[in-house]
């Protein structure tokens, strides 16, 4: 695919909960690669941890999920739907991520059965792995997640 989308054109996420600046590669329904720079003024860094800012691991996993959602929601069947977490397996954190680090996220869908799928995901800073995990997801219609 030569024309890469703006993440906001595919994902429902918005600031302050959009953790992708740029889509680097996209094969709809199969894989995605994206980039995000952890800026020193990112709000959660003020409390995690004062004087020693480190990106929370759960946010790295969320960014990986957003990257996977790019692949899943870029298909004709995925347009207008939501990708929800169904589980996280074999998650490992290998290095801290600090302000100024540029993260590259890669996800590859490995299995889909109906609306449920699984993807291998890795986050890197340069050549170093920061996090890797198996992500499980569900693709649902937006009206399935209505407010009660």
Of 5, 24, 30, 48, catalytic: 48
The CATH number of residue 62's host domain is: 3.10.129.10
- pTM here is 0.94
Q: Which residue range(s) make up the domain with 124?
A: 14-145
Can you give the pLDDT at residue 1? 43
Omega of the bond leading into 122 within 30 degrees of 0 (cis) = no
Please confirm, yes or no, whether 13 is among the known catalytic residues.
no
Residue 135 lies in a domain: yes
Residue 67 lies in a domain: yes
Can you give the pLDDT at residue 145? 81
Residue 7 lies in a domain: no
Can you give the pLDDT at residue 58? 97
Residue 50 lies in a domain: yes
The mean pLDDT values, 10 residues at a time, for the chain of 148 residues are 85 95 97 97 94 97 97 92 96 98 98 95 98 97 77
Can you say whether the dihedral through the CA atoms of 60, 34, 107, 8 is positive or negative?
positive
Q: How far apart are CA 125 and CA 129, in angstroms?
A: 6
Can you give the pLDDT at residue 147? 57
State the total domains in the chain: 1
DSSP state letter for 4: P
Q: 117 vs 42, 47, 120, 128, CA distance in Å?
A: 31, 34, 11, 27
């Amino acid at each position: 695919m030569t024309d890469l989308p703006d993440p906001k054109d595919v994902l429902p996420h918005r600031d302050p909960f959009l953790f992708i600046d740029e889509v680097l590669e996209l094969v709809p329904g199969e894989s995605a690669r994206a980039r995000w720079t952890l800026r020193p003024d990112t709000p959660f860094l003020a409390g995690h941890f004062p004087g020693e800012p480190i990106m929370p691991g759960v946010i790295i996993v969320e960014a990986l999920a957003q990257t996977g959602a790019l692949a899943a929601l870029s298909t004709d069947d995925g347009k207008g739907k939501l990708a929800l977490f169904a589980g996280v397996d074999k998650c490992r954190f290998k290095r801290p991520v600090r302000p100024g680090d540029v993260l590259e996220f890669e996800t590859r869908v490995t299995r889909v059965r109906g609306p449920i799928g699984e993807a291998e995901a890795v986050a890197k800073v340069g050549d170093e792995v920061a996090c890797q995990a198996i992500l499980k997801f569900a693709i649902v219609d937006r009206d399935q997640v209505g407010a009660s």
